[in-house]
């Protein structure tokens, strides 16, 4: 596993003098423009070449040049039970990396901060005590947000979503979805104002053309073995509030997975919310997650039926008012999940979906390319000779220009 920020690497040492000698002939602006297009990993490796390049990292004009790059290959931040190490999967170099810098204030370490949301180059962390802070994992910069509430808050927290501006990478919003259906509300933190806005009530909308199989009395159901099973989903801490915000027809919409396994869409522009019908009947054994991919909401479902296990991707058709299957893992791959009681936690970025499938016995990491319909199982991440086991994942773009004002 590669190490970034804090440990240099001896890589093609004899080629190193060639690149600087060429760039030394260029003026500073042109050097910054050239370096701004380098992948994040390559840039940090080249920082050790000379003082001139190290100075580029803190240059305001370099950050402006970086902001002109429309797309960065995503990094996937891996989350394990210990939360003691920053490990990412770099899709540009297609390998695991460890970030060696300290990103958190020591006073937060005892609170076990958990990454819960991301957007652009920023990641939002949340603690059990209710503290929020936002980090740029590439640069190590970090800020703590003002308290969302003064005193105790009795409302249930359903979702934490984040939206970073594509025009101003350092500008972001955090959206909290609160309450229990049908009594939902939301609250927004605006980094420009550095304050939490007042709580806003959401009104439920119902589509009469849908035969909804969602009701409020689904606390328990009878399994095939005759056992009484709770319908509420038990999610791991890092995915408990998992959600995302996308723009649809000019409106900002937050999607999240409810505690009973349905998809909820909160239109914070129109101040309404809508609950989608179930994809599968409640009595079937399955694991589900909702992701954003290329600006659309997709749902990933791992289900068991008879003697087989399938992993499929679904999309809701507004035209047909029904769920449509858009992709399926090859049976030869999904059958390996059979009988293992795997739980899936997923995230999307552009045309990729990262699937983290884990159980008490093992874990697998799958990368699905939506555009090419390619499913790839990633190799295990080894740290100090031992395979690291991850339970969930969050995606972000490594962007130097996403600065945070303390």
pTM: 0.87
Per the omega criterion (within 30 degrees of 0), is the bond before 182 cis? yes
- Which residues lie closer than 8 Å to 41 by C-beta, 6 or more apart? 2, 4, 90, 92, 93, 97
> pLDDT category, 226, cuts 50, 70, 90?
very low
Across 134-162, average pLDDT:
87
81-90, 114-123, 356-365: which is most confident: 114-123
> pLDDT category, 217, cuts 50, 70, 90?
very low
Comparing CA positions, the residue from 297, 314, 350, 302 lying closest to residue 76 is 350
pLDDT tens string 156-174: 899 999 999 888 878 999 9
pLDDT of residue 271: 97
- The residue that leads in pLDDT, 290 or 216, is 290
What's the rounded Cα separation, in Å, for the pair 241 and 224? Answer: 30
Across 94-101, average pLDDT:
86
What's the rounded Cα separation, in Å, for the pair 106 and 103? Answer: 9
CB 23 within 8 A of CB 383: no
Q: Which of 86-100, 234-248, 383-397 has the lowest mean pLDDT?
A: 234-248
pLDDT tens string 48-79: 767 777 777 778 898 899 999 999 999 999 99
Structure tokens at 400: 């130097």
Structure tokens at 218: 């689904």
pLDDT of residue 211: 54
Helix (H) or strand (E) holding 53: helix 51-56
Across 190-215, average pLDDT:
81
pLDDT of residue 225: 39
> pLDDT category, 22, cuts 50, 70, 90?
low
pLDDT of residue 216: 46
Check whether 184 has a pLDDT greater than 70. yes
pLDDT of residue 210: 66
CB 314 within 8 A of CB 326: yes
pLDDT of residue 251: 95
Tokens 């992993």 found at: 311
What's the rounded Cα separation, in Å, for the pair 150 and 138? Answer: 32
Q: Which of 15-19, 85-89, 125-129, 189-193 has the lowest mean pLDDT?
A: 15-19
pLDDT of residue 190: 96
Check whether 82 has a pLDDT greater than 80. no
First to last CA, the chain: 32
> pLDDT category, 224, cuts 50, 70, 90?
very low
The widest CA-to-CA distance across the chain, in whole angstroms, is 77
With left for phi above 0 and alpha for psi between -120 and 50, is residue 122 left, alpha or beta?
A: beta
pLDDT of residue 155: 80
pLDDT of residue 387: 87
β partners of residue 117: 124
Q: Which of 78-82, 97-101, 133-137, 152-156 has the lowest mean pLDDT?
A: 152-156
What's the rounded Cα separation, in Å, for the pair 388 and 363? Answer: 9
CB 287 within 8 A of CB 300: no
Mean pLDDT of all residues belonging to the chain: 83
pLDDT tens string 244-263: 999 999 999 999 999 888 99
Architecture per CATH, 75-396: 6 Propeller (2.120)
What's the rounded Cα separation, in Å, for the pair 124 and 161? Answer: 9
- The DSSP output letter for 307 is T
pLDDT of residue 99: 84
Check whether 359 has a pLDDT greater than 70. yes
pLDDT tens string 286-343: 899 999 999 999 999 999 887 889 999 999 999 989 999 999 999 999 988 888 888 9
All structural domains of the chain with their residue ranges = 2-67, 75-396
């Amino acid at each position: 596993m590669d190490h970034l920020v804090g440990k240099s690497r001896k890589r093609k040492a004899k080629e190193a003098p060639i690149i600087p000698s060429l760039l030394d002939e260029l003026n500073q602006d042109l050097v910054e423009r050239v370096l701004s297009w380098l992948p994040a990993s390559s840039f940090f490796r080249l920082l050790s070449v000379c003082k001139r390049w190290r100075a580029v990292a803190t240059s305001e004009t370099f950050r402006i040049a970086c902001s002109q790059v429309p797309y960065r290959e995503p990094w996937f931040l891996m989350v394990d039970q210990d939360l003691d190490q920053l490990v990412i999967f770099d899709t540009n170099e297609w390998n695991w990396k460890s970030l060696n810098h300290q990103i958190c204030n020591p006073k937060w370490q005892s609170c076990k901060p958990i990454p819960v949301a991301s957007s652009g180059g920023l990641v939002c962390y949340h603690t059990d005590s209710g503290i929020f802070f936002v980090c740029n994992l590439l640069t190590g910069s970090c800020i703590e947000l003002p308290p969302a509430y003064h005193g105790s808050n009795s409302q249930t927290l359903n979702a934490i979503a984040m939206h970073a501006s594509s025009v101003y990478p350092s500008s972001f919003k955090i959206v909290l979805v609160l309450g229990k259906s049908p009594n939902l509300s939301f609250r927004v933190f605006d980094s420009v104002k550095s304050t939490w806005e007042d709580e806003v009530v959401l009104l439920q909308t119902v589509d009469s053309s849908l035969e909804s199989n969602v009701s409020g009395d689904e606390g328990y159901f009878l399994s095939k073995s005759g056992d009484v099973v709770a319908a509420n989903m038990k999610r791991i801490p890092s995915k408990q509030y998992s959600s995302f915000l996308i723009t649809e027809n000019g409106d900002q919409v937050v999607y999240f997975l409810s505690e009973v396994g349905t998809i909820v869409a909160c239109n914070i522009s129109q101040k309404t919310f809508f609950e989608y019908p179930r994809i599968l009947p409640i009595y079937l054994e399955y694991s589900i997650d909702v992701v954003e991919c290329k600006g659309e909401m997709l749902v990933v479902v791992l289900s068991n039926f008879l003697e087989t296990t399938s992993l499929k991707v679904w999309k809701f058709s507004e035209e047909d008012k029904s769920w449509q299957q858009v992709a399926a893992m090859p049976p030869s791959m999904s059958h390996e999940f059979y009988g293992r009681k795997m739980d899936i936690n997923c995230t999307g970025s552009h045309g990729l979906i990262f699937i983290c499938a884990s159980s008490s016995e093992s874990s697998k990491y799958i990368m699905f390319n939506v555009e090419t319909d390619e499913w790839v199982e990633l190799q295990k991440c080894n740290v100090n000779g031992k395979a690291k086991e991850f339970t969930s994942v969050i995606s972000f773009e490594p962007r130097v220009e996403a600065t945070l004002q303390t």
